[in-house]
Structure 1
């Protein structure tokens, strides 16, 4: 019989559209060739409102056993209050990080307990908090060779790392934001068996925060899927898509979109002759800005997403918070000209390592200048596309990635 491995993620299945959920699915399905794979997840569909929209229980999906547990957040209505009340420890740790001394302090004082109770309440009031899932892990962890929680920002990865540290391969998908500096993470990042990062930039960030006492770690990462495109003409009519467009794919909210709509509108004011529209693909989680040159598609199927990517003139990722950016890699793999936020170390790393397969901007002026060059130069877009395809093929080959993951599993097992 094959040995058992469990992934843990907030949501799983065709209805789960987030990057961490997609990350989990791709690794889990590929690992079924070597292990019996479970995914432990919740019944939550809406990550904002919460609620157990999916039935609890066990089902099989593409060779993976999916075990869903009800979420039971404690005082969900007080979540924002607890986040505000515990902000001081995050601010202190972030300030020490900015001074460049947190790494040295962490090597002497690796585990912080300041405001631990409040930060625990933050975790327990998240919509994904699931005592039933945690109990299952505590009672069944000996049956698994490794347990792999994904995304440290939410309670599942945090609590699983505490309940089964000797079995845990944590994939934190962390980035430089306030929540990364929670003091309760110090216990996790110094006690789990292994930490698998997505990029060198993410790994360096963790090393600077948690110091020499950080657990054994390295790069695992994830690859991308090869999915067949939907019919372009059908998709174009369905979503009223233009001939030339700047494309964004992701959650339509302030955190992901950042400043990009205003930058785009200012670009159009400067270059009135440009026929470039802005197409936003994804679920709406904030009030949309109505403008004749902005098109919202809402959620689309995976096949539709890929054909929309394929026909974009320029593809943008304005997020400041990424640990990898699957959508960037998907665009690069298809030879698209990519424009990304230079304030994100991970996105900047992709630009530099691909030697120009993507370009980063550092502000509105830089965004407008680079977008104009990309829109008006077929040669530039072609060159960027070729570099991007080579970069993804070399750095994100599935054989390499799965080899790293299996090596980590065998190391701790």
Structure 2
């Protein structure tokens, strides 16, 4: 079996579909599956999509072959104008949809390679759904093309241009039941489907004391781990925490780790601690030291950080409008969810006042991850699904 993952960018990129693709490819490779990466020369999502950061050609990373192709030049201004409408949840025309997909990241050299080397591979796995590499690439050899869409309930998902792509694919690999439900609600899917999840490294070590001593944080704290941006609802978390502190005179802190800019009100700078991007071991230690992890994003198709938090024996608090993270909490009996600031306050205080229940919920979460998302199980499910498709 020979598999090619087709992804807009590839490398040491933390979090998101990029990290999932890399981890999945490497774990399949370790289990004897021949895997290649077909990608562009762009560095990452936040880079200039017209700029070739990497040299084109073939390279190796952790025993996985990477083929990089130069990107097509694009009209960034035109794309940004249409994308702004979508970010504001405004309806766009069919013409604007076509411009959007043509002026995002694309590689004509990549598409030509797919056309001429289709017989070299048994399966193509395209991740995630919205980029040009998936849209154009998956329709070249649809009978051996599988989508890993990473679908959210967002304006992009409702664009008509994606319907044929979802309908023509040989199969779809989903991370969670709510994602599959959403996809089948929007698209008339004909290909085979599986709710597979994501693989997690369950053999991680952590030490709360080590984190507290290194960063000098000894009070109870809520942890946020991930990109700090409006799309992840970080500003909402900061706002709710500030309102919580106005109503609760305790020593609780909010600790932020991850990349991206963040604005902290001057009045609360002693209570909101921004550690920026930290080492992986420090991240695991921070999970263990936290009273709870808060994942406020409503746009998640899986959420690695809540799985890592459970593995480090810390329960989670998620936004009730994110069907996926809420579903994980319910199925794992390992987290709470909030809709407004009052519910946020109630959930936080419940955790602080009930340490034994907090511990029990965290143990439930660890068992949920160990049972469903260890790499041996995920690799087995990938291979079986593709062979039977």
Is TM more than 0.5 here? yes
In the alignment, which residue of structure 2 is the partner of 1:267? Answer: 244
How far off is 1:289 after superposition? Answer: 4.8
The answer as to whether partners of 1:332 and 1:388 remain within 8 angstroms in 2 is: yes
The answer as to whether partners of 2:206 and 2:281 remain within 8 angstroms in 1 is: yes
Q: Does 1:76 align with 2:42?
A: no
Equivalent position to 2:3, from 2, 5, 8: 5
**Residue by residue, what CA displacement relative to the aligned partner does 1:20-56 show, whole Å, maximum 9, x if unpaired?**
1111122111111232110122333342342333333
How far off is 1:229 after superposition? Answer: 4.5
In the alignment, which residue of structure 2 is the partner of 1:21? Answer: 18
In the alignment, which residue of structure 2 is the partner of 1:280? Answer: 256
**Residue by residue, what CA displacement relative to the aligned partner does 1:98-141 show, whole Å, maximum 9, x if unpaired?**
xxxxxxxxxxxxxxxx70x4223212333x33222222222212
Q: How does 1:11-410 map to 2 (within 5 A)?
A: 11-14=9-12, 16-32=13-29, 33-50=31-48, 51-83=51-83, 91=91, 115=94, 117-126=95-104, 128-211=105-188, 213-226=189-202, 228-229=204-205, 241-256=217-232, 257-272=234-249, 274-285=250-261, 287=263, 289-290=265-266, 291-355=269-333, 357-410=334-387
How far off is 1:305 after superposition? Answer: 1.5
In the alignment, which residue of structure 2 is the partner of 1:105? Answer: none
The answer as to whether partners of 2:147 and 2:169 remain within 8 angstroms in 1 is: yes
SS of the residue 2:152 aligns to: coil
SS of the residue 1:195 aligns to: strand
Question: Equivalents in 1 of 2:40, 2:346: separation in Å?
Answer: 45
How far off is 1:411 after superposition? Answer: 3.0
In the alignment, which residue of structure 2 is the partner of 1:102? Answer: none
The answer as to whether partners of 1:85 and 1:118 remain within 8 angstroms in 2 is: no
The answer as to whether partners of 2:41 and 2:56 remain within 8 angstroms in 1 is: yes
Question: Equivalents in 2 of 1:170, 1:247: separation in Å?
Answer: 33
Question: Equivalents in 2 of 1:87, 1:372: separation in Å?
Answer: 34
The answer as to whether partners of 1:145 and 1:409 remain within 8 angstroms in 2 is: no
Question: Equivalents in 1 of 2:192, 2:117: separation in Å?
Answer: 24
SS of the residue 1:320 aligns to: coil
SS of the residue 1:380 aligns to: helix
Considering only aligned residues, what root-mean-square deviation do their CA atoms show, in Å?
2.5
**Residue by residue, what CA displacement relative to the aligned partner does 1:314-351 show, whole Å, maximum 9, x if unpaired?**
10100001111111111112221100001111111112
Single out whichever of 295-304 and 259-268 deviates more from structure 2.
Answer: 295-304
How far off is 1:379 after superposition? Answer: 1.1
Cα 1:161/1:276, change in 2 over 3 Å: same
In the alignment, which residue of structure 2 is the partner of 1:95? Answer: none
- Give the TM-score of the pair, scaled to structure 1: 0.85
SS of the residue 1:163 aligns to: coil
In the alignment, which residue of structure 2 is the partner of 1:103? Answer: none
Q: How many residues align?
A: 383
Question: Equivalents in 2 of 1:297, 1:393: separation in Å?
Answer: 29
How far off is 1:58 after superposition? Answer: 2.0
Cα 1:61/1:155, change in 2 over 3 Å: same
SS of the residue 1:162 aligns to: coil
